[in-house]
Structure 1
């Protein structure tokens, strides 16, 4: 589970409630069933209008994606592709067919399957780019659902407040009830603004962040597999793919590669000296 999402929700909503209590407010004063119905019901209804039934039914899966931690280990994937390139240069591309069953990532497995099947490099690129595009479009639709909800929620909060004030003004002959009624009316605005900025929009940002990471991961695999198919040197493939990593990780890999090269050179000199 992505603990950042849970911690963020707890810290965000918890800060609002604790601050309200420190100001002398009663937690029960923040509870308003009618305001919640207007804001959350109205937000969900307005969002449903803008999307198809299939897209709305996909929301639970999107929530699971937002809550699930799925790290993309770029370093290990680079090493795997380099190892595949070594095997391909040594034993031919057909040798990679034995490795397909051991690959868990569907995109990488598809890419290598195209190579093993002897697909034209240009066609391989087209197929994989189409998959990347389709995945990005699917993610964009899911993200837009939460962004739409984040846009509707504050407006629904204002609508709830206006409705509450209408009720207040209709009972203006009872001055002793005006204060609590006005306070209750503004709870709807609180629900709308807080849900938009602490729930809907952050979830959209989380999904967007994960979609960007997946896109970079898939583009790296695309370039690596095409380089492998072209028969490029494994060392050159590694040097090309580390451009997808953050600078600190690039330096770590380069320093590790240099150290391995230095060790290999030293061993070669020792063997030469012994001979």
Structure 2
């Protein structure tokens, strides 16, 4: 679990709700079905118009990484690469074949299969780099779904406020309705700005960080697998890959 994300989400809610209470607006001042419809549903509608289906589906798949990112242990991976290198130097590359079924990571399994099959190191590098680039591009596009929502939400909040003020203008003859109407109009602005800055944009940024770390991990795996294929000394492999830990 990402403890910082959990703390951030809790503090965001405390800041919003607590601020509303302390300012005298109360909890009821934050609830407006009309504002929710215009801002939240409008933001979802905008992002659906912008995003291809496979990208939106991927965004839903990875949003959980904000609170539970994929486990990453570079030190353990380096130790694994060194162990495989020692095995390959002593028993040959085919000795690594039984290890294929033990790998849950498709990228690592594919790279190890290339090593076992004796694919040329340069060819292996090109193929794995293309695979890594494609995965990174797809995941970044998914993260940008939330970035796009963070861009649309404040604008839709302004639209909601304007529509609310238009409704207020129709009741100028009844002063008793003006205060409540103006307050309800600005609730849409709160929805737009708060959802963008306390949810959508931070989520996008957090996901990009996770995706970048995964890209670095794949780069490390590529270097390690190619070194194994070239029969490099395990100590040299460990020294080379240790640079990725920092």
Q: TM-score normalized by structure 2?
A: 0.95
Aligned to 1:118: 118
Aligned residue runs from structure 1 range 64-213, under 5 A: 64-213=64-213
Residue deviations 1:159-192 (CA, integer Å, cap 9, x gap): 0000000111111111121111111100000000
- How far apart are residue 237 of structure 1 and its match? 0.6
Are the equivalent residues in 1 in contact too, given 2:20–2:30 (CA < 8 A)?
no
More divergent stretch after superposition (2-11 vs 155-164): 2-11
Structure 1 Cα separation of the partners of residues 69 and 54 of structure 2: 25
The CA RMSD over aligned residues, in Å, is 1.4
Secondary structure of the corresponding residue to residue 172 of structure 1: coil
Structure 2 Cα separation of the partners of residues 194 and 108 of structure 1: 40
Stretches of structure 1 lacking an aligned partner (at least 5 in a row): 247-275
Relative contact order, CA 8 A, sep 6+: which one is greater? 2
Residue deviations 1:91-111 (CA, integer Å, cap 9, x gap): 111111122222222222211
- How far apart are residue 230 of structure 1 and its match? 1.0
- Bigger Rg, which one: 1
Distance 1:72 1:44, change over 3 A: same
- How far apart are residue 127 of structure 1 and its match? 1.0
Structure 2 Cα separation of the partners of residues 107 and 59 of structure 1: 20
- How far apart are residue 53 of structure 1 and its match? 2.9
More divergent stretch after superposition (199-208 vs 65-74): 65-74
Structure 2 Cα separation of the partners of residues 231 and 57 of structure 1: 41
Q: How many residues align?
A: 246
Aligned residue runs from structure 1 range 48-67, under 5 A: 48-67=48-67
More divergent stretch after superposition (45-54 vs 190-199): 45-54
